[in-house]
Homo-oligomer: A and B are copies of this chain.
Amino acid sequence: MTAQPDQRITISVDAMGGDKGPATVISGMAKSAEKNPELGYILHGPEDELREMIARRRGGQMLLDRISFRDARDVVTMEDKPSHVVRHGKGTSMWSTLESVRLGEAHGAVSCGNTGALMALSMMRLRKLPGVTRPAIAILWPSRNPQGFNVMLDVGADVRADATDLLQFALMGASYARNGLDLPRPRIGLLNVGTEEHKGRSELKKAHEMIESFADRANFEFVGFVEGGDIPGNRTDVIITDGFTGNVAIKTGEGTASLIGDLLREAFRYSPLSRIASVLALTSLKRLQKRIDPRRVNGGVFLGLNGTVVKSHGGADDTGVSAAIKLAFQLAKSDFSEKLAARVASTVELAQDEVHFASATQEKQEGS
C-alpha cells in the first residue's frame, strides 16, 4: 500500500500484549497524534474497554475521532509459544493488527507484544518478500556516527543465518539506512571477533566475499569485518549479524548502559557535595540521557516482509510507544516497504543474471 501525498497515514496498533497494558499504548498514541496531524489509527483489542479508557482521558474525544476499532478479545502473552499463536491466534489483537496491514487498510503495524509470536504471525500472514529466505529485525543503536545511530540486524528474528542470509541482511540494512537515516551510500560492516579477513566462522568468510561483490551494484560501501566495539562506534552505519549474536549484543549494551546510569546516580548521592553537584549537573545529565535514551529509538523493524511491522519494546512506556509509532509513520511516508521490495527484487535478478552469465561463459569455454 503506497501512501499518497496529502493522504492520512494509518498505523495499525496492537493495544494488548505489552508489559504495561493498553493504557500506556493509548497514551503513546495520544502523544504521537498531538504532534502529527497526518496520523490516523486502527486500534485492535477489546473495543468497549478501549473506547471507555480513551473517553476518560483529557482530549479523549479528539483521539477517538482518529481511531477505527477492530474488536479482538484474545491476547498473545509473553509466555505463548510462536507455534501455538500461529495455529490458534486468530482471535488475538496481534493477529488482527497484522490483518489490517495485509488487507491494505493500514500503512504499517506497531505491537508491544511477544517478539517471537509477532514475527511468526507476520511471516505467515504478510509473507516474505520474493527472494528473501529469512526476515530480520533491525534496530537503531546510539553511536558516534554523525547521524547519532547505527542500524543493526538481525537482533532476534532467527538464531541462525547463513552466508546468503547475511548478504540479504546487508541489502535490506542498506535500504533501511537510506530511508530511515537518510544516508545515500551507507557503510556496511559484518560483525566478527576481529577485523582480519582470516578470523571467525566459515560462513562469515563466505558472507564477506558475497557482500563485497554486491557493494557497488547495491550502492553501499562495504567496510569488511567489524567488532562489538564498532556497534556504538563510527566505522560503519549498518552492522550485519545473525539474530543470536545481535540479540546478545544489544541486551549486553542496554544492560551496561543501565548499570552505568544507576552507578552514576549512586555516585551523586554519595556525599552532600556530590548531591549539590548533581543539581548543578542536572541539565548536562538530562542532555546525555536524552542522547542515549533507548525509548527515543524504540522499535525493531521487521525487514523482508510484504508490509511494515514495528516491534516496540515490551516494557515501553508512552514515550517508547510514541517513538515506535513515529518510526512506523516515517517508514510508511517514505514508501520504504515498496523501495525495499524493489531493491531486493532487483538484486535477486542481478544475482540470477550473474549465475546465468557465469554458466553461459562456462558452457562457451567448454564448447570451444
Contact = CB atoms under 8 A, between A and B. Distances in A.
Interface residues of A, number: 61
A284 B257 CA distance: 18
Nearest to A231: B252
Contacts of A247: 193, 227-228
Interface in A73-99: 79, 81
Contacts of A71: none
Most B Cβ at <10 Å: residue of A248, A267, A273, A285: A248
A203 to B, nearest CB: 11
B156 A193 contact: yes
Interface in A233-249: 233, 241, 243-245, 247-249
A267 B252 contact: no
A84 to B, nearest CB: 11
Interface centre among A143, A191, A232, A278 (most CB of B within 10 A): A232
A201 B159 contact: yes
B267 A285 contact: yes
B256 A257 contact: yes
A207 B233 CA distance: 34
A253 B256 contact: yes
Contacts of A143: 259
Nearest to A276: B280
A231 to B, nearest CB: 5
A interface, by DSSP: helix, strand, loop or mixed? helix
Interface in A196-240: 196, 198, 200-201, 227-233
Interface string A262-281: 11101110110110111011
Interface stretch (A60-68, A105-113, A287-295, A350-358): A287-295
A193 B248 contact: yes
A264 B288 contact: yes
Contact of A274 (B231, B248, B281): B281
B283 A274 contact: yes
A254 interface: yes
A260 interface: yes
A255 interface: yes
B256 A232 contact: yes
Given A200-B159, A267-B285, A249 B277 contact: no
A250 interface: yes
Contacts of A266: 288
B252 A229 contact: yes
Nearest to A282: B277
Given A193-B159, A280-B273, A232 B259 contact: yes
15 contacts: A142-B259, A159-B193, A228-B247, A228-B255, A230-B255, A231-B255, A248-B248, A249-B249, A253-B256, A263-B291, A266-B288, A267-B285, A270-B284, A274-B284, A277-B277
Given A228-B247, A273-B283, 5 more contacts: A231-B252, A260-B288, A263-B292, A264-B264, A274-B283
